[in-house]
Amino acid sequence: NEAHWVGTVTADPPLTSVQDREAVRAILGSMNCTPLFLEEDVLRAHYLGMCKQILWPAFHNVDLMDISRGGLSSTSNMDGRFGPGFAAVTVGGTKTWAQGQFGSCWLESYKAVNGAFAAFVSSGDLVKPGDVMWVHDYHLALLPQLCYDHEVSKYGMPVTKKIFFLHIPFCSSGTFKELEAGELILKGMLHADVVGFHTFDYARHFLSAAKRLAGVNYESLVGGLIGLKFRGRTVLVTMHNVS
């Protein structure tokens, strides 16, 4: 079976003309890749905002309360880079990070990008019953649930196998629960059939977060595997070195 990749395109300046986008589609299509062209403001708020300013520090065990209290210094060219909703507070002449002022806008963009991926892969003939879907990294943590819900609505049951692999650490449950979107992200990941991590420590933190935030317990399975019972399914938790 052939693999097919779906992703967004980053270009400077952004590709806005129909001709440029069609040219990129043709080139990538020859390599079994499909590009999604989303609004630039939404992409910036999703990636530079939600992903890099909130999720990246949290998943690397940076306490969000400390960040919020202490502030994050801003460079002079930061204004406008993070998409709609960016706001900074000036303290002693230095712009500092004020998460509460723009986190909700970033979260909406995060949902929008995940929703765009789900709408694309769930429409047409790209993904068929019995296929395996591999979702890469925290940028698309909501995608397993969105695709799961679509399949249940269309077929009455999930019809694809979904793998979610996290390419960065998973933080302690104490840090994770400080995320306003923590429960949403956790449930998104739990709708995958397999959730993969680089190390056992990262998997252990995920299991702890599932217990504390969603009340989901894990069990040891035959062959040394770890399983989580969620919505009548067993979600396998694995550890692999994937770059």
What pLDDT is stored for residue 230 in this prediction? Answer: 95
Q: Give 196's strand partners.
A: 165, 238
Give all domains of the chain, ordered by start, each with its CATH number. 5-37 (no CATH), 41-104 (no CATH), 114-239 (3.40.50.2000)
Tokens of 53: 């300013």
Inform me whether the pLDDT recorded for 192 exceeds 90. Answer: yes
The helix/strand/coil state of 99 is helix
State pLDDT tens for residues 52-107. Answer: 989 999 999 986 555 555 444 443 344 455 555 444 433 344 444 444 555 678 99
Tokens of 202: 């990262």
State pLDDT tens for residues 198-222. Answer: 999 999 999 999 999 999 999 999 8
Question: How many residues appear in the chain?
Answer: 243
The helix/strand/coil state of 140 is helix
How many helices (H) and strands (E) would you count in the chain? 9, 10
CB-count exposure of residue 50 (10 Å: 0-12, 13-18, 19+): buried
Tokens of 116: 């765009």
Give me the chain's average pLDDT, please: 86
- CA separation for the pair 182, 9 (Å, rounded): 27
Which string of DSSP letters, residue by residue, matches 158-211? Answer: --SEEEEE-SS----HHHHTT-TTHHHHHHHHHTSSEEEESSHHHHHHHHHHHH
In this structure, are residues 162 and 192 in contact, taking their beta carbons and an 8 Å threshold? yes
What pLDDT is stored for residue 150 in this prediction? Answer: 97
- With residue 221 as reference, give the H or E element that holds it: none
The verdict on whether omega for the bond into residue 13 sits within 30 degrees of 0, i.e. cis, is yes
- CA separation for the pair 198, 196 (Å, rounded): 7
In this structure, are residues 53 and 106 in contact, taking their beta carbons and an 8 Å threshold? yes
What pLDDT is stored for residue 78 in this prediction? Answer: 43
In this structure, are residues 70 and 102 in contact, taking their beta carbons and an 8 Å threshold? no
Query: What is the distance between the terminal CA atoms of the chain, rounded to a whole angstrom?
Result: 22
Residue whose C-alpha is closest to residue 174's, from 218, 220, 211, 139? 211
